[in-house]
Amino acid sequence: MSERKVFCEECRNDVTFTINEKKMEGTIKGEKYSYIGKEAHCVDCGSEIYVAEVNDFNLKALYDAYREKNNIVSLEVILAIPEKYAIGKRPLSLLLGWGEQTFSRYCDGDMPTKQYSEILQKLYDDPAYYAEMLENNKENLKTTASYEKSKRAVNELLGRTQNTKTKIDLAIEYLLSQCEDITPLALQKALYYIQGFYYAFYKTFLFSEECEAWVHGPVYRDIYFRYRDYRFDPIEGNEEFDDSVFSSPEKAILDSVIKNICCYSGKVLEGFTHSETPWLSTRGELSPTTASDRTIEKELIGTYFSAVKEKYNMINTNDIKGYAQKMFEQM
């Protein structure tokens, strides 16, 4: 018996009540569904009385019966998805390409379509499927923080470690651990110079990713969307980084770029790239303010920086300093 009291229509008074289970039947979309529900009865007169939480329980039980019979994802699974992947309801809805409130409505009990139900069930069952969707649709998210937080969560579920990170991811982490005030603009240019000078010295590219000739210089598209929310502010980094993930040649280039390139601001480095052949040739006839997603071919980058190495008689990676100083003087 409940100690709480509710109003009894027969007794015309607030009364205590008992709750009993009962087999019930309800109708959804013209079809009848059986379920185990509950009834509340007044302890004084025995008549059935209305109790809000009992009514809510019965409504949920009816919808659960409907979901089970029609293979619709359960409400429990829907509610577990955001927690499992460390993502908010609205960001998840945007990630899926749905209306911003769609997933929230499902969490409140609205019934998803069969198609959406299958997607939600697969998201819950298969972290690899979610990880792929997160990467493919991350531009739908309003902040990179939502992407990064969810990515960490799904990587933990998949048992991924630092060894599965790409070389450009590791280079970024190292740059952020070594540079106190590196903005998204400066980071993009640092990556570009690492790519170019690594090829000049070792005749292979460090990154598999392509960069594009944007208005403000060479840009790695995915990296841009990862850090765009920082805008003109320095990117937060982790001071602790195990640089043993790099070979000696890789670290030599990284350290030289940090010392001799990253000492200049992002706007200065943008100016450097605007006078270099790879960006100029790729932009071609475009005006300085015209947006572009044209890829700067790796061959162009390799040829240009190999010529720079020869022109400036670079013997070791520290000789990059001479080129950077000359570019700065010419601005």
User: What is the per-residue pLDDT across 19-48, written as a single tens digit (0 to 9) for each?
Assistant: 999 999 999 888 898 989 999 999 999 999
Share the mean pLDDT of the chain: 91
- Give CA–CA dist 105/234, Å, rounded: 38
Task: Average the pLDDT over 53-75 and give the result.
Answer: 86
> Is residue 40 a contact partner of residue 50, using CB atoms and an 8 Å limit?
yes
**Cβ contacts of 79-82, under 8 Å, gap ≥ 24:** 79/107, 80/124, 81/120, 81/123, 81/124
pTM: 0.55
Strand-strand pairing, 2-8 and 31-42:
unpaired
- Give CA–CA dist 45/40, Å, rounded: 12
Q: Give the range among 59-63, 126-130, 277-281 with minimum mean pLDDT.
A: 59-63
pLDDT in tens, 288-322: 899 999 999 999 999 999 999 999 999 999 999 99
Percentage of the chain beyond pLDDT 70 is: 98
Outline where DSSP puts E strands in the chain. 2-8, 13-28, 31-42, 211-214, 217-219, 295-296
Note the pLDDT of residue 244.
87
**Per the structure block, which two tokens stand in for 225?**
């969307």
Bigger pLDDT: 146 vs 294: 294
Q: Would residue 217 be called left, alpha or beta, if left means φ above 0 and alpha means ψ between -120 and 50 degrees?
A: left
3-state secondary structure of 130: helix
- Give CA–CA dist 217/99, Å, rounded: 34
Confidence band for 160, pLDDT divided at 50, 70 and 90: low
Confidence band for 162, pLDDT divided at 50, 70 and 90: very low
Strand-strand pairing, 2-8 and 13-28:
antiparallel
Element spanning 188, H or E: helix 184-202
Percentage of the chain beyond pLDDT 90 is: 74
Question: Taking 60 as the threshold, does the pLDDT of residue 180 lie above it?
Answer: yes
Question: Taking 60 as the threshold, does the pLDDT of residue 276 lie above it?
Answer: yes
Task: Give the domain ranges of the chain.
Answer: 2-69, 75-160, 167-329
Residue partners of 82: CB distance under 8 A and separation at least 6:
88, 89, 92
Task: Provide the CATH topology of domain 2-69.
Answer: Ubiquitin-like (UB roll) (3.10.20)
Strand partners, 48: 41
Question: Taking 90 as the threshold, does the pLDDT of residue 231 lie above it?
Answer: no
Provide the CA 307 distance to its chain's centre, in angstroms.
Answer: 39
Note the pLDDT of residue 109.
85
> What are the CA-CA distances from residue 285 to residues 89, 217, 282, 288, 290 (Å)?
45, 15, 9, 9, 10
Residue partners of 304: CB distance under 8 A and separation at least 6:
196, 276, 277, 278
Confidence band for 164, pLDDT divided at 50, 70 and 90: low
Residue partners of 36: CB distance under 8 A and separation at least 6:
21, 22, 23, 24, 61
Residue type, 242: D
- Give CA–CA dist 185/270, Å, rounded: 8
**Per the structure block, which two tokens stand in for 14?**
């607030």
